[in-house]
């Protein structure tokens, strides 16, 4: 048995009161993208726009204090899901509730409750880490001196020294920039944290530091975390439960132990690694890219309207 | 292991949130001070190049000699007001475009900041930034010309600029919509809108010289009234009382344009969220 499977599921300090709304409740979310028509001087023929369901009737719930992992290959719909959760994309069908608030209808109530680390550490690169964090901290209603103090504290914990904090971010490595992105997200102490492949592209040491920080914050603040990743080891190490996303559909869900049991078929659980579980439950390898990103990069448009 | 203490964000004041955007723009401006020098030099050279046309008109006797100081002031006011207006519009559209390319637009739009506070915070910086740059251009350009300002009514000019700036904030917010929706072409599209304002507002000539249909269009540009009011104040010394009607029109533009631009920005943001256009480009 994997050591993680012995760990109790859910919040370390006991379950939330029965009446309390769940941190995250996703019900039948669907999002379809269409590729755009070509411009008047394009050599490609215009034709009917290509439709693709980036998410197809996805439903799951995350209780307070849990780390829930969404595992899927590149293009499986993970980032689309995160964008819907953090009010940046409107679903075509279905509903997402964050602590009882509908993300599409009550975005102003949802936004103070969550924050996000995206796979790309997006910053104003000419500004320093501290200047960037000062802006984003203030945007979440934290006073300037408090932002500076907390930023330094978190960045120190993540291994960024004072000198690097004051350099323009374009001088920082990819790993250092991602750590600043983690600091930005945790600065506002969100009750629901959305981590969209937070360690992709990091060197092993930075990866360990970020993972340790996530574990520590979860333990001390009981922050509920949704983690998307295609790193099986990371998912097993951090997540209480996980769901497999493939072709925009959530095809399996459970604890690592439950998922292993589903495919063990008489084999010892130690013999069944998570990659095998993913392969058997989704019918494809996690390394096999799907084409969600391609569709979006070509210029996505909503279901009713075709761009340009 | 060091313990990290996190503080839950609390409901912030609107001024504090607006200040976040003002402060961010100031920090960006400090990092890009060399670009500011470039734009200042460009602004001064542009002002000189256009205003020297008055001297040429005098030399070639195209305009009676006695009219040259007035023509000089007419062109000088036009170039300076245009520098001011275009700096406000550029600030808004460049910042939105920049956020699209850096990918920060997603983090900015998901922050718990009311859109009105976000956009007004950026606009206030844009107005102050544009005003400072225009004053510097004026200070650099004035020594080149024989300018007579003895009869100018500065109070009227100041009121016209202050009231007119509100409507320019509305135009600035509208200018930011195009890069929000079209990150690759939005900035060029906003230049096109600026060019239309330049054509119809009487920046370098009176709107009376325009064809009738363009004169009709000019009535819908707040820059038309801004230029007229400043020229009346500085060239003719018109008192504030006599400009009350024009100031009222400018105020009306502000009252209509600012809320309208916020509503249009909101519609555009919703459409961008529906079609997945906020994803990082670049």
Please report, for chain B, the start and end positions of each structural domain, with discontinuous segments joined by +.
Answer: 36-275
Please write the tens of the pLDDT for every residue from A122-176.
999 999 999 999 999 999 999 999 999 999 999 999 889 999 999 999 999 989 9
The structure's pTM equals: 0.86
Query: B7, A142: Cβ pair inside 8 Å?
Result: yes
Please write the tens of the pLDDT for every residue from B239-255.
999 999 999 999 999 99
Least confident range from A43-52, A63-72, B97-106: namely A43-52
pLDDT for A307 = 30
Contacts of B274 in chain A (CB under 8 A): 89-90, 302, 305
Beta partners for residue A254, in sequence order = A242
Q: Cβ contacts of residue B15 below 8 Å, gap of 6+? A: none
pLDDT band at A45 (very low <50, low <70, confident <90, very high): low
Query: A89, B114: Cβ pair inside 8 Å?
Result: no
Is residue B280 predicted with pLDDT exceeding 70? no
Mean pLDDT of B90-119: 92
Contacts of B28 in chain A (CB under 8 A): 124, 126-127
Contacts of B27 in chain A (CB under 8 A): 127, 131, 134-135
Percent of chain B scoring above 90 in pLDDT: 72
Q: How far is A191 from chain B (nearest CA, A)?
A: 8
Is A5 or A135 the better-scoring residue by pLDDT? A135
pLDDT for A42 = 63
Query: A118, B32: Cβ pair inside 8 Å?
Result: no
Query: A108, B279: Cβ pair inside 8 Å?
Result: no
Q: Residue A99 to residues A78, A95, A112, A186, B103: CA-CA distances in angstroms?
A: 21, 13, 11, 18, 27
pLDDT for A41 = 64
Show which of residues 63-122 on chain A sit within 8 Å of chain B, judged by CB atoms. 80, 83, 86-90, 108, 111-112, 116, 118, 120, 122
pLDDT for A37 = 59
Q: Which CATH code of 3.40.50.150, 3.40.50.300, 3.30.70.270, 3.30.70.250 fits the domain covering A48-123+190-301?
A: 3.40.50.300
Mean pLDDT of B271-280: 86
Closest CA to B125 of A112, A180, A135: A135
Give CA–CA dist B195/B39, Å, rounded.
18
Q: Cβ contacts of residue A248 below 8 Å, gap of 6+? A: A31, A53, A54, A55, A56, A58, A76, A77, A80, A292
Decide if A169 touches B, using CB distance below 8 A. Answer: no
pLDDT band at B3 (very low <50, low <70, confident <90, very high): very low
CB B44 within 8 A of CB B133: no
Please write the tens of the pLDDT for every residue from B189-230.
888 889 999 999 999 999 999 999 999 999 999 999 999 999
Query: B104, A301: Cβ pair inside 8 Å?
Result: no
Is A202 or A190 the better-scoring residue by pLDDT? A190
Is B187 or A134 the better-scoring residue by pLDDT? A134
Query: B274, A127: Cβ pair inside 8 Å?
Result: no
Is residue A219 predicted with pLDDT exceeding 50? yes
Contacts of B106 in chain A (CB under 8 A): 83, 86, 88, 118, 122
Q: Residue B177 to residues A65, B257, B261: CA-CA distances in angstroms?
A: 39, 14, 9
Query: B112, A141: Cβ pair inside 8 Å?
Result: yes
């Amino acid at each position: 048995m994997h050591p993680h499977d012995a760990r109790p599921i859910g919040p370390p300090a006991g379950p939330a009161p029965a009446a309390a709304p769940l941190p995250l409740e996703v019900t039948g979310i669907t999002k379809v993208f269409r590729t755009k028509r070509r411009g008047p001087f394009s050599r490609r023929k215009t034709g009917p726009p290509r439709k693709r369901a980036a998410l197809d009737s996805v439903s799951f719930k995350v209780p307070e204090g849990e780390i829930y992992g969404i595992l899927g290959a590149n293009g499986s719909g993970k980032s689309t899901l995160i964008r819907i959760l953090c009010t940046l994309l409107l679903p075509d069908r279905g509903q997402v509730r964050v602590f009882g608030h509908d993300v599409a209808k009550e975005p102003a109530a949802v936004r103070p409750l969550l924050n996000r680390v995206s796979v790309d550490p997006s910053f104003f690169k000419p500004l320093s880490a501290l200047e960037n964090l000062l802006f984003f901290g203030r945007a979440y209603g934290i006073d300037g001196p408090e932002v500076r103090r907390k930023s330094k504290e978190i960045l120190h914990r993540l291994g960024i020294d004072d000198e690097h904090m004051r350099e323009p971010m374009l001088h920082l490595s990819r790993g250092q920039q991602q750590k600043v992105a983690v600091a930005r997200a945790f600065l506002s102490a969100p009750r629901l944290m959305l981590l969209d492949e937070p360690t992709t592209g990091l060197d092993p040491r930075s990866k360990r530091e970020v993972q340790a920080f996530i574990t520590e914050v979860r333990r001390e603040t009981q922050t509920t975390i949704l983690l998307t990743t295609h790193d099986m080891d990371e998912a097993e190490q951090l997540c209480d439960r996980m769901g497999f996303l493939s072709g925009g559909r959530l095809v399996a869900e459970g604890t690592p132990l439950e998922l292993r049991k589903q495919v063990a078929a008489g084999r010892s659980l130690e013999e069944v690694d998570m990659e095998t579980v993913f392969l058997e439950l989704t019918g494809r390898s996690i390394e096999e890219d799907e084409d969600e990103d391609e569709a979006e990069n070509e210029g996505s448009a909503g279901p009713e309207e075709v761009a340009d | 292991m060091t313990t990290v203490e996190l503080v839950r964000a609390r409901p912030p004041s609107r001024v504090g949130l607006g200040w976040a955007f003002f402060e961010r723009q100031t920090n960006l401006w400090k990092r890009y001070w060399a670009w500011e020098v470039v734009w200042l030099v460009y602004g001064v050279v542009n002002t000189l190049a256009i205003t020297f046309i008055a001297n040429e008109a005098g030399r070639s006797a195209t305009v009676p000699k006695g009219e040259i100081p007035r023509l000089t002031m007419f062109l000088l006011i036009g170039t300076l007001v245009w520098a001011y207006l275009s700096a406000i519009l550029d600030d808004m559209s460049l910042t939105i475009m920049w956020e699209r390319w850096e990918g920060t637009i997603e983090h900015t739009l998901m922050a718990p900041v009311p859109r009105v506070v976000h956009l007004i915070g950026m606009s206030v910086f844009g107005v102050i930034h544009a005003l400072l740059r225009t004053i510097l251009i004026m200070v650099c350009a004035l020594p080149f010309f024989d300018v007579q300002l003895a009869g100018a009514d500065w109070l009227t000019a100041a009121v016209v600029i202050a009231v007119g700036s509100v409507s320019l904030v509305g135009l600035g917010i509208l200018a930011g919509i195009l890069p929000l929706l079209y990150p690759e072409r939005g900035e060029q599209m906003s230049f096109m809108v600026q060019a239309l304002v330049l054509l119809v507002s009487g920046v370098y000539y009176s709107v009376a010289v325009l064809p009738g249909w363009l004169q009709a269009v000019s009535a819908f540009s707040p820059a038309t009234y801004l230029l007229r009011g400043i020229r009346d104040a500085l060239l003719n010394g018109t008192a504030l009382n006599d400009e009350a009607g024009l100031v009222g029109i400018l105020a009306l533009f502000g009252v209509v344009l600012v809320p309208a631009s916020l509503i249009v920005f909101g519609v555009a943001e919703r459409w961008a969220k529906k079609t997945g256009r906020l994803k990082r480009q670049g």
